[in-house]
Chains A and B, each alone.
Chain A
Amino acid sequence: MRDLPERLEELASAYAQLASPPAPGELRRRHQRRQRVTVAAWLTFAAVLLVGAVVAGGWVGAVGRPAPGPAAAPPSTKATTKATTPPSSTRPPRLTGTVTRPQEGYRLNLPAGWHAVELSDPKQLALGYGKPGKSAVEVYVRTALTLDPRLTSATDRKAAVLASSPWGPETETFANKPATRGTRPDGRRFLTIDADLVGGGMPDRLYQIAWPYHCAPGSACPAFTRLRVLEFVAISSKDQWAEVRPMLERMVANVQPIGNALDGSDPTHPPCTYGRNGDVTNPHPAAKATSDGGVLLQVGAASRAGLPCHFHGELTLRLVDRLAAARTTLGRQPPLLPVRNNGATVALDGDLPEGSAGSGVLAVVWKWTNWCGSKQVSAQVVSSGGDITDLGNGRIPLPRCTDRAAPSILTRVKGPG
Chain B
Amino acid sequence: MAEAQRAATFEEFYRACFDRLVGQLALVTGSMAEAEDVVQEAFLRAAAHWPSLCHYDVPEQWVRRVALRLAINQFRRARRRAAALVRLGPAPVTPPASADALVLDAALRTLPIRHRQVVVLHYLLGLSVEEIGRELVLPVGTVKSQLHRARQALARQLAEPSLEVNHRHA
A residues near B, CB below 8 A?
1-5, 7-19, 21-22, 24, 27-28, 30-31, 121, 123-124, 138, 140, 142, 144-145, 147, 157-158, 160-169, 171-173, 175-176, 195, 197-199, 204, 224, 233, 235, 277, 393-395
Name B86-100 residues within 8 Å CB distance of A.
Answer: 87-100
Verify B106–A175 contact, CB threshold 8 A: yes
8 A-B pairs besides A4-B164, A172-B30, A197-B84 with CB distance below 8 A are A12-B124, A27-B43, A123-B90, A124-B88, A147-B103, A171-B103, A172-B106, A197-B83
A57, B109: Cα distance in complex, Å = 53
Verify B15–A15 contact, CB threshold 8 A: no
Verify B84–A204 contact, CB threshold 8 A: yes
Verify B94–A19 contact, CB threshold 8 A: no
Residues of the A chain whose Cβ atoms lie less than 8 Å from the Cβ of B22: 15-16, 18-19
A21, B35: Cα distance in complex, Å = 12
A3, B91: Cα distance in complex, Å = 29
Residues of the A chain whose Cβ atoms lie less than 8 Å from the Cβ of B92: 168-169, 172
Closest residue of chain B to A121 (Cβ to Cβ) is: B90
Residues of the B chain whose Cβ atoms lie less than 8 Å from the Cβ of A17: 19, 23, 95-96
Residues of the A chain whose Cβ atoms lie less than 8 Å from the Cβ of B96: 14, 17-18, 161-164
Verify B44–A30 contact, CB threshold 8 A: yes
A12, B32: Cα distance in complex, Å = 11
Listed by A's residue number, 9 A-B pairs whose Cβ atoms lie within 8 Å are A5-B124, A16-B19, A17-B19, A18-B22, A27-B47, A123-B90, A163-B94, A167-B94, A224-B94
B residues near A, CB below 8 A?
10-11, 14-15, 18-20, 22-24, 26-27, 30, 32, 35-36, 39-40, 43-44, 47, 82-84, 87-106, 109-110, 119-120, 123-124, 126, 154, 157, 160, 163-166, 168
Residues of the A chain whose Cβ atoms lie less than 8 Å from the Cβ of B83: 197-199
Verify A147–B19 contact, CB threshold 8 A: no
The smallest beta-carbon distance between A288 and chain B, in angstroms, is 20
Closest residue of chain A to B24 (Cβ to Cβ) is: A12
A199, B154: Cα distance in complex, Å = 26
Closest residue of chain A to B165 (Cβ to Cβ) is: A4
Inter-chain contact count A-B, CB under 8 Å? 184
The smallest beta-carbon distance between B106 and chain A, in angstroms, is 4
**Chain A interface helix/strand/loop/mixed:** mixed
Verify A15–B32 contact, CB threshold 8 A: yes
The smallest beta-carbon distance between B36 and chain A, in angstroms, is 6
A175, B105: Cα distance in complex, Å = 12
Residues of the B chain whose Cβ atoms lie less than 8 Å from the Cβ of A169: 92, 94, 102, 105-106
